[in-house]
Structure 1
Amino acid sequence: MKKKDQMLAKIKRQQEITDGARAANRDLTDDETREFNNLQGEIDALHPQVEEEERQAAITAERNRVAEINAICRQVGMEPDNYIKDGSTVEAVRKAALDQMIQRGQPSGVHVTQDEGDKVRAAAVDGLLMRAGVTVENPTEGAREFQGMSLRDIAIESMTRSGNHSASELLRMSKSDLYDMASREFFNPSAAFPAILDEAIKKAIVEPYTHAGTTFERWTRKGSLSDFKPTPDHDYVLSGAQDFEKVPENGELKESEFSTEMLPQRKLDTYGRSFSMSRQAFINDDIGFIATVPGRFAQAAKRTINKQCYQLLYNNAAVFDGKAFFSADHKNLLTTGTGMTSAAIKAMRQKLRTQTDQFGEAITLTPNFLILPVSEQYDNDLVSIFMSPTIQTTENTQAANPLYRQNYDIIEDNTLNVLAGSNACPWFMGDKGVSCVKVDYLNGNETPNVRRSEKARTLGFIWDFWLDWGITATDFRSMVKNPGVAL
């Protein structure tokens, strides 16, 4: 462990001692006073060693700068001394070398194809994520070195490489002063440190969003819209009988007539929040905001979609034809709510399988999923309904179970329990092959967007977090509702 980290750990322990006494509204005990004083002595002894470590780090950084400048200048015939003396950065020298080669019309002999700063930022992003406990596949070269750095160290490294500040100047700054300087750079789009935080946050949200623990994806259909304007869909359908007619020899084909049927109007809305890394988080080197806070926002976005999908089913609002989603007119509602029984499943199957199109013609629907609230009783009932080869008849005899080993995807979600409270909790049956509810995203992008927020005079680094989606009931024929009972 570095001397600096040892000193910080001892300072933290001192703070814990004083905080504990303050919380209990008392003075330090004799043992606490003795430990505090011993820690202070150790801190005082470590202080010159820490200064020496930081001095050596600054010397190493300067040596690396001089070596890289010399290497670049040798390849293009430039004099390196002036660049070394005036504190020029490696990036500035590389640009000067490229400019000189362009003026001379000579081919590039120095490798400036990929900006060194991009490589360093990529390594810093991966190192920061790994330190925060985020899994990084194939880390960038150099990421392991950044993994052991604090936020302060990364800020110093980034600002030193920008060429606007020397390492020795930044190392002498307190964390508070360094934070103030980093805050001023936060609004500079080319500044490295804010860019590292941006990219780390964007990468950190992917896994939490993917594994948010939602269930709406299992019974809805994903869609895409290109803008926020209401999109009235139309469906061109055959009017009247749709059967093909027999054509006699040399007979004429009868022309079909089409009508345009109005379907649901799909529309996107924007949902979002903002979050920040506070000044205290930076000073305390709290990288938890990268591993936890953005990930929680990503999960909250997906859970909001999940909740809205189940609210659409539970609230049973009117759909595109002006009638409730589940209604007697739509022939997809049991008149009496029940618990989980074989009779209820058979009744729901019958309603689903006997649906007709808008002209009264038969359509083929296959019941293959159940949407249920969380219920131990329902779980037990389902085992009996689908796993028992025989059933007890009203005549007290055994008969073959017609539902034995029926293949249904059982989708349980506690959102229904929460929506129902102490009231009757509905459950549903449907056909996955037909889209009954569609979740649209702007241009098909279902991953939340993150953007650095330009809110001046705010004490903290702030990011905006948003996602564009819309949820629409598209076909009431492919789902049946059982009003259920109180659980």
Structure 2
Amino acid sequence: MNKREQLRQKLQRQQAILAAARTAGRDMTEDETREFNALQTDIETLRPEADAEAEAERQAQIEAARTAERQRVTDITTLCRNFNVDASQYITGGQTVDQVRTAILDCMIQNGTPARTGVKVTADETDKFRAAAADGLMTRSGHTPAAPADGSRQFAGMSLRDIGIECLTRETGKSASDFMRMSADDLYTELARAFHNPSASFPAIMDTAINKSIVHAYDHAPTTFEKFTRKGTLRDFKRTDGHNYLIGGVGDLLLVPENGELKADTHKEEMLPQRKLDTYGRQFSMSRQAFINDDIGFLSEVPGMYAAKSKKQINKMVYSILYNNGQIYDGKTLFHADHKNLITSGSAPTGAAIQAMIQRMQLQDDPFGEAINLTPATIILPVGYGFAMQSIFGSPTIQTSENTQAANPLYNYRYPMEIVEDATLNILAGSGACPWFLGANREETTGIQVDYLNGQETPTFRRSETVGQLGFVWDIWLDWGISVMDYRAFVKNPGAALPTL
């Protein structure tokens, strides 16, 4: 029997004892009182264990749901990739893998499966060929995968034309010489006809190479917003009403006299901003000229540039929220005197300025006026202040106004502070005063949250058909939304004008 069941039974027994006495119109007997008090002792011992057990089960359920969702997305993506089908519609629609498999099969039955003549290539061999060719293209472009597919080396020296001929030879059963006699323009026309064919290898190889480029570029984009924001997920594009059970948002526990009754409490709940996702996207193409010119750099550079741009755009939007100090969910600006998170006299970073900001954050309170004891964790700076900040925190002594050495409290306290420098603040400030910020531990409160659709952080792409455009065309997009969740997570120093170089 688990702790929660034991707790439930003891509470029920207590209620039964009380009910029996009330029904009889009497006080509890000595034996009943003794049993009631013994039960209460057991309940007080069991309650934290039961709560911990319930929390562990809740966390396990959450993790299991996350694991199942990740597996669903992976399985659907793999299944759709094999048939060159856009997976995003099924992922966002919440379909199961079996439902997606049935939908693809129904589509193939209605439209007919592609007929093949000549040499037969199994699905497994085709997948190996496509993976090797895609990794060969990446190697040739200077972006060798960490674990290249078997056989990729032989494709690293092949041109786009050569790979296209290899694809057509495998798919049609014709001799390679039949295609080698074609001009580059005629070969492009032949390959373009199959651009939207789910069984065609050449566009699938380009898709694989593009995906590798996107993932690599996004993961290595030089951004810093992840160090002081929290990541969230939304299932759709509907505006979501946020609720937040504030830190300390309940009343004090009241003294309960012997045989006294527990009084009910109502937690403090406040509306937070309405979280919402938006879609940001572009269209890019590999032109007919790029194919004829064997522009292999397109596959490795252009898609990755769009992926990196999307992440940098999120970075700029987050910093713009801090810098521009717009209105938030309570109708006031993010940094406001009423929010107790604004230093009125701006300055460059100094020990005294940092201590004032730390004190301002640590004095934040809950709706009942109780201290919430936030932990300062991040200092967010424009480029140029990092060296000074290391000196401020790293020196055991400081120079006093009397020209003597004294202990440095910031060094002695050993704050686990992360220094984050980002040139986005420099660009936003220009020649004016550049603010800098103190951020709280993200595990204690969410200051700014970046939401993604179903947790999909990297951009999605698909082949697109654009009328009147010569070339292979793709759409690329990413869904995200940014919300201020708690103003108490940041303190702002308005700063000073940055020194010019």
Contact 2:464 2:473 in 1 (8 A): yes
**Which residue, out of 274, 278, 284, partners 1:269?**
278
Question: Following TM superposition, by how much is the alpha carbon of 1:184 offset from its aligned partner in structure 2, in angstroms?
Answer: 1.9
Q: Identify the match of residue 152 of structure 2 among 143, 146, 162.
A: 143
Match of 2:389 among 366, 378, 382: 382
1:272 maps to amino acid: G
Residues in 1 aligned to 2:183 and 2:246: alpha-carbon distance in whole angstroms: 73
Alpha-carbon separation, structure 1, partners of 2:249 and 2:161: 74
Aligned partner of 1:228 in structure 2 is: 237
Asked whether 1:392 is paired with 2:399, we answer yes
Distance 2:248 2:266 in 1: 6
The yes-or-no answer on 1:412 pairing with 2:421 is yes
Shift of 1:259: 4.7
CA deviations 1:316-345 (Å, max 9, x no partner) are 101100100001010000111111111111
Tell me how far 1:452 sits from its aligned partner.
Answer: 0.8
Contact 2:249/2:268 (8 A) holds in 1: no
Q: What whole-Å deviation, never above 9, does each CA across 1:51-71 have from its counterpart, x for those lacking one?
A: xxxxxxxxxxxxxxxxxxxxx
* Among candidates 257, 276, 290, match of residue 248 of structure 1: 257
8 Å contact 2:247–2:372 — kept in the other structure?
A: no
Shift of 1:144: 1.9
Q: TM-score, normalised by structure 1?
A: 0.74
**Equivalences for 1:43-442 in 2 at 5 Å?**
88-91=117-120, 114-163=123-172, 166-236=175-245, 242-375=251-384, 378-404=385-411, 405-433=414-442, 434-442=445-453
Letter in 1 for 2:209: A
Tell me how far 1:359 sits from its aligned partner: 2.6
Structure 2: segments with no counterpart, 5+ residues: 1-115
Q: Which runs of 5+ in 1 are unaligned?
A: 1-86, 95-111
**CA shift for structure 1 position 207:** 1.4
Aligned-residue offset at 1:164: 7.0
**For the residues of structure 2 that align with 1:204 and 1:464, how far apart are their CA atoms?**
15
How far did residue 271 of structure 1 move? 0.8
Give the whole-Å Cα distance in 1 for the aligned partners of 2:255 and 2:487: 34
- 1:187 is displaced (CA, Å) by 2.6
* 2:479 paired with 1:477: no
Q: Please say if residues 250 and 268 of structure 2, whose CA atoms lie closer than 8 Å, have aligned partners that are also in contact.
A: no
Shift of 1:116: 2.8
Counterpart residue number, 2:101 = none
Contact kept, 8 Å, 2:251 with 2:368, in 1: the verdict is no
* 1:427-453 Cα distance to aligned partner (Å, 9 max, x none): 000112322000000000101111111
Partners of 1:386 and 1:266 in 2: CA distance? 37
Measured in 1, the distance between the counterparts of 2:152 and 2:400 equals: 69
Partner of 1:452: 463
Q: How many residues align?
A: 379
Query: Aligned partners of 2:350 and 2:149: how far apart in 1?
Result: 57
Compute the displacement of 1:179 (Å). 1.0
Q: How far apart in 1 are the matches of 2:249 and 2:439? A: 27
Asked if the contact 2:118/2:174 (under 8 Å) is kept, the reply is no
Query: Amino acid of the residue matched to residue 314 of structure 1?
Result: Y
Task: After superposing the two structures, state which structure 1 stretch, 449-458 or 391-400, moved more.
Answer: 391-400
Equivalent position amino acid for 2:119 in 1: V
One-letter amino acid of the counterpart of residue 163, structure 2: I
Taking structure 2 as the reference length, the TM-score comes to: 0.72
Distance 1:290 1:401, change over 3 A: same
CA contact (8 A) 1:224 1:440 kept: yes
Q: Contact conserved, 2:250 with 2:267, CA < 8 A, in 1?
A: no
RMSD (CA atoms): 1.9
For residues 400 and 163 of structure 2, what CA distance do their matches in structure 1 show? 74
1:393 partner letter: T
In 2, are the aligned partners of 1:239 and 1:258 still within 8 Å (CA)? Answer: no
1:122-169 Cα deviation digits (max 9, x unpaired): 221122222122232333232222222110011111112111754232
Q: 2: CA distance between counterparts of 1:319 and 1:240?
A: 20
Other-structure match for 1:42: none
Letter in 2 for 1:382: M
Could you tell me how far apart the structure 1 residues matched to 2:372 and 2:247 are?
14
Letter in 1 for 2:379: L
1:13-43 residue CA offsets vs partner (Å, 9 max, x unmatched):
xxxxxxxxxxxxxxxxxxxxxxxxxxxxxxx
Q: Shift of the alpha carbon at 1:307?
A: 0.4
Identity of aligned residues (%): 60
Distance 2:361 2:402 in 1: 29
Aligned partners of 1:238 and 1:396: how far apart in 2? 44
Report the CA distance between 1:239 and its aligned residue. Answer: 9.9
1:412 and 1:447 mapped to 2: Cα distance? 24
Which amino acid in structure 2 is aligned with residue 481 of structure 1? K
Specify the SS of the correspondent of 1:319.
coil
Match of 1:467 in 2: 478
Corresponding residue SS for 2:339: coil
What amino acid is aligned across from residue 386 of structure 2 in structure 1?
A: D
